[in-house]
Amino acid sequence: MSKQAITLTVNGVARQALVEPNQTLTSLLRDELGLTGTKHGCGVGDCGCCTVILDGETVNSCLVLAMQAQGREVMTIEGLAKGAELHPLQQAFVDAGAIQCGFCTPGMILSAKALLDHTPQPTREEITKGLSGNLCRCTGYEKIVEAVQDAADKMSEA
């Protein structure tokens, strides 16, 4: 089967791409659209590095076919900042020291965003459950949880 044309919205912008049937959403984002913030960690949904927000819900993009994103809305890490201004979650991660090697960070921040979109004032337990699909080997998660709590407070003040 030859490449298929698909259209979708990525970070608020309508995009078109020609994709192979066996191409993943991760590859569509990284290789066709140049959005390299979404990472490859395992390819089988075990680590969460490839997390994006698809129609408002987090998914492991390594297990979504590009074809399945036809007509849908995707948010990647590149969609959070407004120009040079970081999203409160990004700023909170920076301020809290929640970023070390940074490889899990895009997926982690998007999971946090989806969590706060659904639950603006989460308990610690809700935060850990919301981030439970994103592995981190560097931080021990403590400063990540603090960052999300911080961001939740700042975002609800705004």
Partner 1 sequence: MLLPSFDYYRPQSLPEALSLLGEMGEAARPLAGGTDLLVNLKLKKLAPKVLLDLGGLEELKGNRQDDGMISLGALATASGLASGGPEVPGLLAMGAGSLGSPQVRNRATLGGNLVTARPAADICLPLLALGAKAVLAGPGGERVVALDGYFKGPGYTVKEPGEILTRVLVDAPRPGVGGGYQKLGLRQAMEIALVNVAAHLELEDDGKTVALARVALGAVAPFPMLSPGAASALIGKAAEEINFSEAAEAAAADARPIDDHRGSAAYRRDMVRTLTLRALRQALSQAQGNQEAQA
Partner 2 sequence: MSGNFEVIGSRAPRKDAPNKSTGKARYIEDIKFPGELAGALLQSPQAHAKIKRIDISKAQALPGVVAVITAQDVPDVKYGVSPARYDETLFAVDRVRYVGDEIAAVAAEDLATALKAVELIEVEYEPLPVLLSVEEATAEGAPWLHDQFPDNVCAQVEQEFGDVEAAFAQCDLIQEGSFFSKRQDGAFIEPNQCVALMDSDGVLNLHSSTQVPHYVQRTLAMVTGLSMSQVRVVKPYVGGGFGPKASATPIDLAAGFLAMKTGRPVRMAYTREQVFLFSRARHGFTHHMKIGVKKDGTLMALDHRATLDGGAYSSFGIATVYYAGSLLGGPYKLPNMRYHGLRVFTNKPACGAQRGHGGVIARALFEQQMDVIAEKLGMDPIELRLKNMMETGDVTCNDLAMSSLGMRECIEAVKNGSGWDQKKGKLPKGKGIGMACGFFVSGAGYPIYRSETYHCTIMIKADEDGGGIVVYTASAEIGQGSETTMAMIAAEAVGIPYEQVRVKSGDTDFGIDLGAYSSRTTLMTGHATKEAGENLKAMVLETLAQELEIDQSRLDIKNGLVKISGDPVDFSAIRIGYIKEHRGWQDQPSGDELTFREAVRLAYLRRGTLVATGKYKPPVLGGKYKGAAVGTSPAYGCSAQVAEVSVDFETGQIKVERITDAHDCGQAVNLTSVEAQMQGSVSMGLGEALFEEVKFDSQGRILNPSLGEYHIPTVMDMPETKCIVVESGEPNGPFGAKEVGEGAIMPTIPAILNAVRNATGLVLDETPLTPERVYLALKKQKGA
**Residue 58 in 3-state DSSP?**
strand
Q: Which amino acid is at 58?
A: T
- What sign does the dihedral 40-43-49-51 (CA atoms) show? positive
Asked if residue 27 binds partner 2 (CB under 8 A), the reply is no
- Among 51, 90, 105, 139, the residue binding partner 1 under the rule CB under 8 A is 51
107: left (phi over 0), alpha (psi -120 to 50) or beta: alpha
**Segment interacting with partner 1 (CB under 8 A) among 15-23, 29-37, 82-90, 92-100:** 15-23
Asked if residue 136 binds partner 2 (CB under 8 A), the reply is yes
Residues 104-133 that bind partner 1 (CB under 8 A): 111, 114, 129-130, 132-133
Distance in Å, CB of 82 to partner 1, minimum: 25
